[in-house]
A and B are shown apart, each in its own frame.
Chain A
């Protein structure tokens, strides 16, 4: 082995030799100020290439196994959470929020989750819930049908789109006239708190109910700076233009393919008669309730 090393405790000078020098050449400190540097352990030269490569391999393998293990161990629990969260979001569009037992409420309210296509045909009676977001296409459109406690029927359309920083998504519930909004729910992955993130707030979502979605065969529902048409326009959030544009774009793209299915299922509306009394149609419970209010 090479000569020993001695380091001066005063100035840090390193001397190589078998014995400590009598006096430090730099600071003139005596031999007593010198301390032997411990020789590195054999085979553990932490500066060698092989050590560095082996070390990194070992660290990466340990970390990989750790993460893979944890991930697969927690997967079932996480999936259950994701599923429950999806149910909560669907229910939120029906204005059913902060539920103690969302799964039970979901089972009670959502009567079917058919898959439809852009031509208006029903592809499958059930199974829409299982359709992954990236599997949604013109021929594979999931839809949820809810029956509320008062007997009224609602259609819930899932939507996904892009905000400013990341994904945005939501659910839009329509009344059984297949055009008027009953409720909406929006959420986002990473919009700016206080600005774009406000699309997830009740304040923004409460602007939608009562608005109409389709007009003249197109999606007319838009988010605008200044509302001029109360029936289809919704006030935007100031300072969140790009996020609101994203919501707009999402509404346009995701609601349009459902048009055919919904108009096929919409109740036939009689042309409005001159005298309102002429309408004998029993209509739905909700319409009745509305009439009562009007009376």
Chain B
């Protein structure tokens, strides 16, 4: 089996659109609401989740045949929690500023359902390499949605992008534009995610139920 056989490519590609973890599998919604009022934390969260899903997938896949079936969820949880703690310790030692910015989000990763979902649904049945690709695919699929939502929320909620005061520079405020406070609240994330789900299903009829 080649490194990028058809099946492996599928493991990498489908989570980006057809089986997007947020909009189709409906995993990781809570963090998609919590960290998307600014673009920067959304990008960082997407990156960290991608790395951790991929690593956890590989580890679980390596030991999948030895895991007792009845306690598999706990074992998965231990692996995820250990990984997250490790990453946060290393960040604290070598990239303190980043770890300060990430403080909450790192902890949130443990509770992110994408991790458990992918470990249970994919890594438990597949070899390490496809599992790694699946992790990357799902992480990127998740990050994509986060970035799209955060882009609109930060742009219309604060008038900035990555803290760059775009609307101010464009002079929109002088034309009478006001920042939309709703965009900074959680409901805006629901509405935006719903819009993405709508667009996706309108484009691909096979996704409609």
The answer, among B37, B89, B184, for a CB contact under 8 Å with A71, is B89
What total of chain B residues lie within 8 Å of the partner, measured CB to CB? 33
Is B25 interfacial (CB 8 A cutoff)? no
What is the minimal beta-carbon distance from A78 to any residue of chain B, in angstroms? 5
Given contacts A56-B71, A193-B37, A193-B38, contact A46 B181 (CB under 8 A): no
Assembly CA distance A63 to B81 (angstroms): 10
The answer, among A74, A84, A189, A192, for a CB contact under 8 Å with B90, is A74
Assembly CA distance A81 to B97 (angstroms): 9
Chain B residues with Cβ below 8 Å from A165 are 104
Is B157 interfacial (CB 8 A cutoff)? yes
**Of all chain A residues, which has the CB nearest B36?**
A193
The answer, among B82, B104, B181, B185, for a CB contact under 8 Å with A66, is B82
Chain B residues with Cβ below 8 Å from A78 are 89, 92-93, 96
**Of all chain B residues, which has the CB nearest A197?**
B38
**Of all chain A residues, which has the CB nearest B184?**
A194
Chain A residues with Cβ below 8 Å from B104 are 165-166, 189-190
Which residues, 12 to 58 on A, are CB-close (under 8 Å) to B? 46-47, 51-52, 55-56
Cβ contacts B72-115/A at 8 Å (1 or 0 each): 00110011001001100110111010001001100000000000
The answer, among B75, B96, B157, for a CB contact under 8 Å with A59, is B75
Is B69 interfacial (CB 8 A cutoff)? yes
Which residues, 129 to 177 on B, are CB-close (under 8 Å) to A? 153-154, 157-158
Chain A residues with Cβ below 8 Å from B69 are 46-47
Q: Is the CB of A239 within 8 A of B184?
A: yes
Is A238 interfacial (CB 8 A cutoff)? yes
Assembly CA distance A200 to B53 (angstroms): 31
Q: Is the CB of A46 within 8 A of B66?
A: yes
Given contacts A52-B70, A192-B37, contact A74 B89 (CB under 8 A): yes
What is the minimal beta-carbon distance from B111 to any residue of chain A, in angstroms? 14
Q: Is the CB of B78 within 8 A of A85?
A: no
Assembly CA distance A74 to B88 (angstroms): 11
The residue in A77, A78, A194, A238 that gathers the most chain B C-beta atoms within 10 A of its C-beta is A194
Is B192 interfacial (CB 8 A cutoff)? no
Chain B residues with Cβ below 8 Å from A59 are 75, 78
Given contacts A67-B86, A70-B86, A71-B89, contact A77 B78 (CB under 8 A): no
What is the minimal beta-carbon distance from B37 to any residue of chain A, in angstroms? 4
What total of chain A residues lie within 8 Å of the partner, measured CB to CB? 30
Is A195 interfacial (CB 8 A cutoff)? yes
Is B35 interfacial (CB 8 A cutoff)? yes
Is A227 interfacial (CB 8 A cutoff)? no
Is A148 interfacial (CB 8 A cutoff)? no
Is A285 interfacial (CB 8 A cutoff)? no
Is A123 interfacial (CB 8 A cutoff)? no
Chain B residues with Cβ below 8 Å from A82 are 96
Chain B residues with Cβ below 8 Å from A193 are 35, 37-38, 41
The answer, among A70, A77, A192, A238, for a CB contact under 8 Å with B181, is A238
Q: Is the CB of B93 within 8 A of A47?
A: no
Chain B residues with Cβ below 8 Å from A52 are 68, 70-71
Question: Which residues on A are within 8 Å of B, measured CB to CB?
Answer: 46-47, 51-52, 55-56, 59-60, 63, 66-67, 70-71, 74, 77-78, 81-82, 84-85, 165-166, 189-190, 192-195, 238-239
**Which 10 pairs show the lowest CB-CB distances between chains A and B?**
A194-B37, A81-B96, A74-B93, A52-B68, A190-B104, A77-B93, A63-B82, A194-B184, A193-B38, A193-B37
What are 21 A-B pairs at a CB distance below 8 A? A46-B66, A46-B68, A51-B68, A52-B70, A56-B68, A56-B71, A56-B74, A60-B78, A67-B85, A77-B93, A77-B94, A82-B96, A84-B96, A166-B104, A190-B103, A193-B35, A193-B37, A193-B38, A194-B153, A194-B158, A239-B181
